[in-house]
Amino acid sequence: MKWKKIKLSYMVIILVCIVVSFSILITGFFVNKTITERIINSQEEKAFNVSRMISQTPVVIDGLSGVENTGAIQKFTHNIQKSTNVEFIVVMDMKGLRKSHPDPENIGKKFVGGDEKEALQGKEYSSISEGTLGMSLRTFTPIYEQNGKQIGAVAVGISLERIDLVLGMLRKDMSVGILLGLAFGVIGAVVLSYYVKRILLGLEPQEIAMIFKERQALIESVHEGVIAVDQDGTITMANRSALNLMSTFGNVDNPVGKKVDSYFMSTSVYQALKSGKPSLDQEEEINGIGLVVNTVPIIVDGNIEGAVNTFRDKSKVQQLAEQLTGVRLYADALRSQSHEYMNQLHCILGLIHLQEYKELEKFIQKAVESTQKDISNITGKIKDPALVGFLLGKLSYAREEGIDLKLSIKSFLPNYSDRDLTHDLITILGNLINNSIDAAQTSANKEVSLSLAYEDNRLVIKIQDYGKGIPEGNQVILFEKGFSTKGEDRGYGLFLVKQTVEKLNGSIQLSSELNKGTTFRVSIPYKVVGESDD
């Protein structure tokens, strides 16, 4: 079974039981190990104390040196064995022959076990070995006369069975404690799983993860700045757009954890927290930057738990509206035309002051001929006054920029039935002309060719410059929003062209060669007045 398919309650119970069991078992292991070592060490120390005492007793020393009868050694060690409750006390001479033993029949026989040799060489130590009484923990202590000569050794043994019996009793108590701990751990796990499940509104981990991912994707996908505040007005979340907008009016630090009124002077957030009513499309200005702000309260089970504040740069909204309607392009064209006429008027005024009337006549005649030529060329084939004015403005703008914009209208353009087409045409033509003029300014050939043709109920627009061209890698992403080689806050023109052409069910083609120029060809349906949808 995969973990992601296990319910949260079961997962909590299993994990808590594993952790508790592992902790208790590891603790029990080390406690058992520590107690075992301490018991063995204490028994070993006890045996050493007995063996050292025996090795310094005059009765034992005199018995081994031959001053007294060795039978006194057996009697003495027998009494000590009973009082200290050890398994055996064996005194041996330098040949390893027993002088005392719990079993009198073994007295006089050689010590069994083979671990007494080092003791007869003057070394004190302990060992575990098997003798006539079974496996035992033994301590060996050498016995010396007063002159320092070794005359034997004493071995004190404690049965390992007795040690195992004590350890078994302790382990039994520890096992009961471990089982009780596991039982309480299981009960605690069940209670914890129920509590966690209740807090998470009955959702499973994978459901929570999916909701979180969707929430993050949704918040980060919107262009508006989004911040969330708790019921005290403290910012708990801010998306990337919000951080970017805040940085534009001087706040570069992370706003999470700070009061919202340290960023916004508006009281709409606190009003929403107090009244529970949303505040929509409110305008606010921060450090000279206009914002459009919306605030919506977060209500859970009838209680106001916080609020969500969305805001967007007002100038961006206005800029987008202008780009979508073509107003900016139309206004730029009229501005250029007005600027050109103003320059001509200044020139005329100067010639009048200088009384250069012949030059004035030539200048006026040339200006009139040029203007009349442009007007007659356009008005003779286009009847829409807005589009005529726009094209005249673009001709003036091109002359201002030092570009020769050659306009060719190959056929008469009848009046179209869709009046919104004017704005669409201004959007398409304006962006294409501006891009071509920009491209021509960096080339030796300061020329741009624009042709309009009405063919088979379609309007075909073709514009060509002779600039440095567009690399193949950029041609693929040229129409994507935000792509531009001219810096930040650019890259909307060709995106709007493509969007407008697609809206009109038209097509756009691009051909470009490095150092030879770029050509755009746009074809859109052109429904004239009086035509039916059939």
389-426 tens-digit pLDDT? 778 778 777 877 888 888 888 878 777 756 667 778 88
- Residue 462 pLDDT > 90: yes
Average pLDDT, the chain: 77
| 530, two tokens | 């009086």
Weakest mean pLDDT among 6-20, 110-124, 228-242, 456-470: 6-20
Cα–Cα dist 299/275, whole Å: 11
Q: d(Cα 101, Cα 273) in Å, to the nearest integer?
A: 94
258 three-class SS: coil
**Cα 278 to Cα 304: distance, rounded to the nearest angstrom:** 12
The pairing of strands 447-455 and 404-409 is parallel
Task: Find, among 79, 81, 91, the residue nearest to 155 by Cα.
Answer: 91
Residue 265: both structure tokens together? 């002077």
Q: How confident is the model at residue 322 (pLDDT cuts 50, 70, 90)?
A: very low
Average pLDDT over residues 425-448: 86
Return the sign of the alpha-carbon dihedral for residues 284, 286, 292, 296: negative
**What letter would DSSP give residue 113?**
S
Phi, psi (deg, nearest 5) at residue 214:
-65, -40
Residue type, 176: V
Structure token pair of residue 330? 């139309």
Between CA 345 and CA 364 the distance in angstroms is 10
- Structurally, at CATH architecture level, domain 326-525 sits in 2-Layer Sandwich (3.30)
pLDDT winner (highest mean) among 212-216, 367-371, 469-473: 469-473
Q: Which of 214-218, 245-249, 301-305, 488-492 has the lowest mean pLDDT?
A: 488-492
CA atoms of 446 and 438, how far apart (whole Å): 10
Q: What is the pLDDT of residue 305?
A: 82
Classify the C-alpha dihedral 127-129-135-140 as positive or negative.
Answer: negative
Find the mean pLDDT for residues 337-360.
66
pLDDT of residue 250: 65
**Token representation of residue 58:** 């005059």
Number of H helices, E strands in the chain: 14, 14
Helix (H) or strand (E) holding 407: strand 404-409
Whether domain 224-313 has CATH 3.40.50.1580: the reply is no
1-221 architecture in CATH? 2-Layer Sandwich (3.30)
Which pLDDT score is estimated for 507?
92
Average pLDDT over residues 186-209: 75
With bands split at pLDDT 50, 70 and 90, how would you rate the model's confidence at 141? very high
Reported as a single tens digit per residue, the pLDDT across 165-184 is: 777 777 777 777 777 877 87
What pLDDT is attached to residue 369? 55
Give residue 264's pLDDT band: very low, low, confident or very high (50, 70, 90): low
pLDDT surpassing 50 at residue 1: no
% residues pLDDT > 90 (the chain): 4
Give the start-to-end residue ranges of the domains of the chain.
1-221, 224-313, 326-525
Range of weakest confidence among 37-51, 81-95, 229-243, 277-291:
277-291
Q: From the CB of residue 438, how many other CB atoms can be counted at a distance below 10 Å?
A: 15
Q: Which of 33-42, 141-150, 209-218 has the lowest mean pLDDT?
A: 209-218
Instruction: Give the pLDDT band (50/70/90) at residue 534.
Output: very low
Specify whether the backbone of 288 is left (phi greater than 0), alpha (psi in -120 to 50) or beta.
Answer: left
Name the residue among 383, 380, 440, 382 with its Cα closest to residue 406: 440
- Give 281 or 417, the one with higher predicted confidence: 281
**433 close to 405: Cβ distance less than 8 angstroms:** yes
- Choose the most confident range, by mean pLDDT, from 127-131, 207-211, 222-226, 405-409: 405-409
d(CA 160, CA 138): 10
pLDDT exceeds 80 at position 91: yes
pTM for this entry: 0.40
Separation of first and last alpha carbons in the chain: 62
Residue 286: closest CA among 305, 314, 257: 314
Task: For residue 338, name the pLDDT band (cuts at 50, 70, 90).
Answer: low
Q: How far is CA 186 from the centre of its chain?
A: 35
Q: Which secondary-structure segment (H or E) carries 337?
A: helix 327-353
Length of the chain: 534
CA dist., res. 388 & res. 337, Å (int): 12
Percent of the chain with pLDDT strictly greater than 70 = 78
The answer to whether residue 28 scores a pLDDT higher than 90 is no
pLDDT at res. 431: 86
More confident residue, 468 or 15: 468
Mean pLDDT of 306-335: 62
Q: Is there a common fold for 1-221 and 224-313? A: yes
Partners of residue 128 on adjacent β-strands: 137
Ranges 152-166, 243-257, 480-494, most confident: 152-166
